[in-house]
A and B are shown apart, each in its own frame.
Chain A
Amino acid sequence: MPLTFQHQQLANGLDVIAEANADAHSIAIGMFVNTGSRDEEPAINGVSHFLEHMMFKGSEKYTWQDVNRIFDEMGARYNAFTSQEMTAYYANVLPEFTQRATEHLAHLLRPAIRQEDFDTEKKVILEEIAMYLDDPGHRVYEQAMAEHFGEHPLSQSVLGAAQRIRELTRQQMQEYFARRYGPGNMAVVATGRVDFPAFVELVERYCGRWPRVDAPRRYPQPAYAPRRKSLSDPKLNRHYIMGFTPGPSAQDERRFAARVLSDVIGDSEGSRFYWALVDKAIAEDADFGFYPHDRCGSYYLSLTTDPDRAHEAMQIALSELEKVKSDLNDDEVERAKNKIASSIVLQGEIPLGRMRAIGGQWLYNREYRSLEQDMATLRAITPQSLRDLMREFPFEPMTIVELGPGKA
């Protein structure tokens, strides 16, 4: 059965999009807001993510107990996430709960942000920050983003620093919410068993009176440079390295080629990094991947090694990046394409997977891409596409941050 896409914009500017799959057993509904850590003034860094938590604490009508109870009464699989560029709230429910889930998500998006809940939840945010400090992979990632992007807003961490969070006030959060959350800066997405006309009517009923917001985003030019930073923490056993370098943006047509290239270089199986580093146990993890952002993009490399082999592993990784520019072969490109095609098929079978893909695509591009389109674009990628891409984005300058037990 083909998946069918429809879009309608409500009178208040709210975009409603849906991809219907008659074979699905459930519906996934998401509210995607075009806001994240990059849109925060430094003094309120962490507010988008803290706000995401506060959305679950009740609206004018509901307390946090009501919010949780109502989701669970639907047997919903629900959650939210905040990134540098978007915040999304979603529920995956059986089709008979479509109306309730839509109504409930709409309540979420009009939070009360009560002082008592704000003060309590602040402690949970601080626990989350502490949890990630016990995760060396995450630490090196945050440091590498900060170092790579420098003065650019993408350098800001999603969680924010503990001290900033302690100082954040409810008024600051409410102002941020009022500025960034509303039609014109968000989309409502449904995938799976969707009856589109009925769904539009629901969204109109529950969200139709929300006022439009005009929430611009700054796009300063990133100033990339080959920066280096070495951090040490004596209690660590392994050495963690992360590198960032410019790549295509979320709007760039070459982002599909970038995905294929990343697979060739750094997939967990059968990639350049796998054979050069993991197969030989020079590194236990060696990844290369692609993060598209809004109007800019990054490739990343990530290595985990024995502290004594970190330097060697890094040299090998960099030399593999140099080699692939000239000795890329047809077979490895074909294999990468086959793996990605598979993952496109698998993702298409799960409503939540499609919801995330479609919501993200809409926020970045105001565009829908069907699975067939993605497959066709993938098929059209050739080794020459990847060579052209590497000429345009030659993996430099690269910022490298390391975290290990040794002296800095």
Chain B
Amino acid sequence: MSERYFQHSYSNGLTLLGEKMPGMQSAAMTLLVPAGAASDPPEASGAGAVLSDLLFRGAGPRDSRQLTDYLDSLGLQRSSNVGVHHMRFSCAAVADKVVEALGAYADVVRRPHLPEDGFRAARELALAALAGLEDEPRQKVMVLLRERHFPWPLGRNTMGRKQELENLTLECCRAHFGRMFQPRGTILAVAGNIDFARLRDEVERHFGDWTGQEPAALELRPPPGRFHHEQHASEQTHIGLAYPSIEETHPDYYAMRLAVEALGGGMSARLFTEIREKRALVYNVWAGYSSLKGYGSIMGYAGTSNDRAQATLDTFIVELHRLAEGIAADELERARIGLKASTIMQGESTSARAGAIAHDFFMRGRIRTLDEIKNAIDAVSLDQVNDYLRRNRPGEMTIVTVGPTPLRMGG
């Protein structure tokens, strides 16, 4: 690898990735443990969500307060969340503090206390978050969309299900931890003002003797029906749409990304122009590529006044189909410069790069450098984009609405 990028595979299956970013004082870490919501036990949806809180209520030599105080004293800006494939731990701070924190993160993923009273509180908070989702129709529609679009268990609500959370036990969480928290498939990425040799040694020290078996593969089941309306007395009707697309590793990936940028990138892109600017049907409308391992999708959202919701949905679907007719040269050039600029500016953020290289390794088995991405974007021709679009018309769409009145969803 180059001087700027670093990759090391440990014998226990853990992968360490590094990107040195000149001129930075900070560093950022992204740690992906293959314990996402898709791996929640079948009858215990939300076990991951509870665990992601519980892990920090004491780990290794530190109890809950000591651990929080320690991470705070390092000045770490941090978060942890449950995704589909992974439980993700992120932090950023002045570079040497991030490296110093590795020991504590090792404690969290290897030696958490998982205390009883902490469990009760963590479960209460998970239930509260679910209840709060009922008050956020804009968030709720996308949760329901994922449940209806992806095969089970990939579309499971990462926040869990009410009944199953109420029945969740600490034993179940402990067993889930024991099964899922191991080094095979775990990715630790650090970007910023780093020294590779020191990083490798620290990771070796804290994670080198971690062992565990890779858990069983997931068994997928088709999702429930693809049209759904959820009754809610909201001011707006919230619309979520999705249709299948190609995987990240597909040869047409960059052609697809450019097409989707022409659809939903900047303010001159199709959706903003047709649905908001011209027809003033919405304030908020977007569409983008969403990537799960093995599944790519185009997902979109629009929030619209109830009396205009049918017009919004119809127009949105028309635009998604119209894209397949092809884009013009000027649309491609705007999409190209937009994607390239975002890529370059990603290089200003240690957090963005730590997340990006971790994601790349999971999806592709390797790091993509910023130069590689820029060059690949530059290499796509108009013919390639339009050929891709012709061969990839929107297939069966999943449509979910949240609002006071159901809509006609044929299309």
A162 CB to nearest B CB, Å? 10
Q: Could you tell me how many residues of chain A have their Cβ less than 8 Å away from some Cβ of chain B?
A: 70
User: Quick check: A126 and B25 within 8 Å, CB to CB?
Assistant: no
Say yes or no: is B78 at the interface (Cβ < 8 Å to chain A).
Answer: yes
Contact with A along B48-70 (1 / 0, CB 8 A): 00000000000000001100110
User: Quick check: A127 and B305 within 8 Å, CB to CB?
Assistant: yes
Chain A contacts of B74 at CB under 8 A?
Answer: 338
Say yes or no: is B349 at the interface (Cβ < 8 Å to chain A).
Answer: yes
Contact with A along B107-135 (1 / 0, CB 8 A): 00000000000001110110011011011
User: Quick check: A69 and B131 within 8 Å, CB to CB?
Assistant: no
Say yes or no: is A26 at the interface (Cβ < 8 Å to chain B).
Answer: yes
User: Quick check: B277 and A68 within 8 Å, CB to CB?
Assistant: yes
Among B83-115, those with CB < 8 Å from A are 92-94, 97
Cross-interface CB contact of A342 among B75, B137, B235, B304, cutoff 8 Å: B75
Contact with B along A344-356 (1 / 0, CB 8 A): 0110111100000
Chain A contacts of B304 at CB under 8 A?
Answer: 127
Q: Could you tell me how many residues of chain B have their Cβ less than 8 Å away from some Cβ of chain A?
A: 75
In the bound complex, how far is the Cα of B129 from the Cα of A201, in angstroms?
53
Among A263-286, those with CB < 8 Å from B are 269-270, 274-275, 278-281, 284
Chain A contacts of B235 at CB under 8 A?
Answer: 130-131, 133-134
User: Quick check: A75 and B337 within 8 Å, CB to CB?
Assistant: yes
User: Quick check: A238 and B273 within 8 Å, CB to CB?
Assistant: no
User: Quick check: B348 and A349 within 8 Å, CB to CB?
Assistant: yes
B264 CB to nearest A CB, Å? 12
User: Quick check: B280 and A127 within 8 Å, CB to CB?
Assistant: yes
Stretch of A116-124, A145-153, A213-221 lying at the B interface: A116-124
User: Quick check: B267 and A71 within 8 Å, CB to CB?
Assistant: yes
Chain A contacts of B272 at CB under 8 A?
Answer: 68
Given A23-B23, A131-B303: A77 in contact with B342 (beta carbons within 8 A): yes
Interface of A, secondary structure class, is helix
Given A56-B267, A71-B267, A75-B338: A346 in contact with B276 (beta carbons within 8 A): no
Say yes or no: is B269 at the interface (Cβ < 8 Å to chain A).
Answer: yes
B92 CB to nearest A CB, Å? 6
User: Quick check: B24 and A349 within 8 Å, CB to CB?
Assistant: yes
Contact with B along A70-97 (1 / 0, CB 8 A): 0111111110000000000000111000
Say yes or no: is A135 at the interface (Cβ < 8 Å to chain B).
Answer: yes
**Residue in A closest to B262 when the chains form the complex, CB atoms:** A72
In the bound complex, how far is the Cα of B129 from the Cα of A26, in angstroms?
38
Given A345-B26, A349-B349: A237 in contact with B73 (beta carbons within 8 A): no
In the bound complex, how far is the Cα of B92 from the Cα of A133, in angstroms?
34
User: Quick check: B77 and A68 within 8 Å, CB to CB?
Assistant: no
Question: B-side interface residues toward A, CB under 8 Å?
Answer: 22-26, 64-65, 68-69, 71-78, 92-94, 97, 120-122, 124-125, 128-129, 131-132, 134-138, 232-236, 238, 265-269, 272-273, 276-278, 280-284, 303-305, 330, 333-334, 337-342, 344-345, 347-351
Give 10 CB contacts A-B under 8 Å: A26-B344, A76-B341, A127-B303, A131-B235, A238-B128, A280-B121, A281-B121, A345-B94, A348-B25, A350-B348
Question: A-side interface residues toward B, CB under 8 Å?
Answer: 1, 22-26, 56, 64-65, 67-69, 71-78, 92-94, 120-128, 130-131, 133-136, 235-238, 269-270, 274-275, 278-281, 284, 304-306, 331, 334-336, 338-343, 345-346, 348-351
